[in-house]
């Protein structure tokens, strides 16, 4: 029953992650009054009291999502929490609690797991969330991490993926491509180390990008800023799989198209330098790189004056009629259709 004995059976990789979730869960209906929104956004929306409760969950597998040869366990614990909190912020909400479950093989000592929990603890302090539960078990191979984050937001403040309107501005926080290029640097150093175990990695000149990869930020500050500026994004998502993939998610959920302007893409000078060194197109790093955990959102044109020239926010495009699809417009006016080539685990 389990082994793929019959060649006509379908390999999971044929679908990809998002189509797989859609396929598996499309027949599930919501029965409870408290279930406001199920699968399909950054977090589920529940209604237990006056405010909405958000729930988001991630499963991280060693060898698929992280490589412990260059990811210290403390950073991994920190990042695993941050990645989940980012999904809650992407609803324009505040995270409040997390559960953390881990499965560990006997390769890990107690001291190693303590380091991991130190990272969890620092993330809980920095983002003011409570660790309220979890499960701890052995595994037959490697480390598996499952984190569920809860958060809360008032109904009128919540930003789903589905609210973007034609002509809304497309805005991104911070800069993009750094986490991916940081990963390329780390992978290169790992390869060098394999050949020559006595080599000392020289990571100076790459510190910003490596920090983007090893110790990403969830943009709590942007949610607070939007609140101060009295802006409620019409739609929002966090950038975990690459800008291209996230724009397509907003497009599908909101039934709009997008024009994205290549020359507006915010990229740190260090990241551009690494791209040149690696002979890697920096636009590709931004579109398909992923793991930047910046926020991508749409706002009404009426809100433009409020964010104009803000150093943390960049208008990179606008929503168009859905028939126009999602297009990137380059420096000479050519349109290139966006495709989802973000990070895939399958």
CB 299 within 8 A of CB 316: no
CB 84 within 8 A of CB 149: yes
Best CA proximity match to 91, nearest among 25, 36, 133: 36
Binding mask 289-328 for a second copy (x = CB under 8 A): ----------------------------------------
Q: Is 59 in the site for a second copy (CB under 8 A)?
A: yes
Q: Is 67 in the site for a second copy (CB under 8 A)?
A: no
Using the 8-state DSSP alphabet, how is residue 266 labeled?
A: -
Distance of CA 239 to the CA centre of its chain: 4
Q: Is 89 in the site for a second copy (CB under 8 A)?
A: no
Bridge pairing between strands 130-133 and 94-104: parallel
CA distance 94 to 203: 35
Q: Is 31 in the site for a second copy (CB under 8 A)?
A: yes
Contacts with a second copy by CB under 8 A: the residue count is 91
CA distance 28 to 50: 26
The number of CA neighbours under 13 Å toward the Cβ of 48 is: 8
Considering only 66, 67, 88, 111, the residue that binds a second copy (CB under 8 A) is 111
3-state SS, residue 168 = coil
List all residues 6 or more positions away from 144 whose beta carbon is below 8 Å from its beta carbon: 59, 60, 61, 62, 102, 103
- Min dist. Cβ of residue 8 to a second copy (A): 10
Residue number with CB closer to a second copy (114 or 227): 114
Q: Which of residues 8-27 bind a second copy (CB under 8 A)?
A: 9-15, 17, 20-21, 23-25, 27
Binding mask 68-87 for a second copy (x = CB under 8 A): x---xx--------------
Considering only 62, 175, 189, 268, the residue that binds a second copy (CB under 8 A) is 62
- Min dist. Cβ of residue 249 to a second copy (A): 15
CA distance 49 to 63: 40
Considering only 81, 88, 123, 148, the residue that binds a second copy (CB under 8 A) is 148
Q: Specify the stretch interacting with a second copy by CB under 8 A; choose among 137-145, 209-217, 263-271, 297-305.
A: 137-145
- Min dist. Cβ of residue 290 to a second copy (A): 14
Considering only 135, 221, 227, 321, the residue that binds a second copy (CB under 8 A) is 135
Residue number with CB closer to a second copy (73 or 160): 73
- Min dist. Cβ of residue 266 to a second copy (A): 28
Q: Specify the stretch interacting with a second copy by CB under 8 A; choose among 106-114, 166-174, 175-183, 209-217.
A: 106-114
Q: Is 343 in the site for a second copy (CB under 8 A)?
A: no
Q: Is 154 in the site for a second copy (CB under 8 A)?
A: no
State the residue for tokens 């259709």.
337
Q: Is 156 in the site for a second copy (CB under 8 A)?
A: no
CB 138 within 8 A of CB 101: no
Q: Is 46 in the site for a second copy (CB under 8 A)?
A: yes
- Min dist. Cβ of residue 234 to a second copy (A): 23
Q: Which of residues 197-256 bind a second copy (CB under 8 A)?
A: none
Supply the Cα-derived Rg of the chain in whole angstroms. 21
Q: In whole angstroms, how far apart are CA 261 and each of 57, 326, 331, 336, 337?
A: 32, 11, 8, 10, 12
**CA torsion, ordered 172, 87, 124, 224, to nearest 10 deg:** 40
CA distance 206 to 272: 11
Q: Is 140 in the site for a second copy (CB under 8 A)?
A: yes
Binding mask 115-134 for a second copy (x = CB under 8 A): x-x---x--x---xxxxxxx
CB 16 within 8 A of CB 344: yes
CA distance 167 to 170: 9
Residue number with CB closer to a second copy (56 or 298): 56
């Amino acid at each position: 029953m389990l082994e793929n004995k019959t060649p006509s059976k379908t390999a999971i990789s044929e679908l990809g992650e998002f189509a797989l979730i859609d396929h598996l869960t499309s027949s599930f209906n919501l029965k409870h009054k408290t279930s406001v929104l199920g699968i399909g956004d950054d977090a589920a929306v529940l209604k237990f009291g006056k405010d909405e409760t958000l729930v988001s969950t991630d499963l991280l597998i060693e060898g698929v999502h992280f490589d412990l040869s260059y990811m210290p366990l403390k950073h991994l614990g920190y990042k695993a929490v941050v990645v989940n909190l980012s999904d809650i912020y992407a609803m324009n909400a505040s995270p409040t609690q997390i559960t953390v479950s881990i499965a560990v093989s006997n390769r890990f000592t107690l001291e190693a797991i303590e380091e991991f929990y130190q990272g969890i603890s620092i993330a809980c302090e920095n983002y003011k969330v409570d660790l309220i539960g979890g499960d701890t078990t052995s595994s037959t191979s490697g480390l598996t991490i499952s984190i569920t984050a809860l958060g809360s937001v008032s109904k009128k403040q919540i930003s789903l993926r589905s609210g973007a309107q034609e002509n809304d501005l497309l805005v991104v926080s911070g800069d993009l491509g750094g986490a991916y290029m940081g990963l390329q640097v780390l992978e290169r150093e790992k390869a060098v180390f394999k050949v020559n175990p006595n080599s000392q990695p020289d990571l100076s000149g790459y510190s910003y990008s490596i920090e983007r990869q090893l110790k990403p930020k969830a943009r709590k500050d942007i949610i607070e800023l939007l609140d101060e500026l009295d802006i409620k994004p019409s739609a929002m998502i966090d950038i975990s799989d690459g800008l291209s993939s996230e724009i397509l998610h907003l497009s599908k959920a909101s039934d709009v198209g997008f024009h994205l302007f290549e020359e507006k893409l915010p990229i740190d000078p260090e990241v551009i330098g690494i791209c040149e060194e690696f002979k890697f197109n920096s636009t590709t790093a931004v579109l398909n790189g992923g793991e930047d955990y910046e926020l991508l959102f749409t706002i009404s044109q009426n809100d433009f004056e409020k964010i104009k020239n803000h150093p943390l926010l960049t208008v990179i495009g606008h929503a168009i009629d859905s028939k126009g699809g999602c297009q990137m417009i380059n420096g000479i006016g050519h349109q290139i259709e966006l495709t989802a080539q973000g990070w895939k685990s399958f």
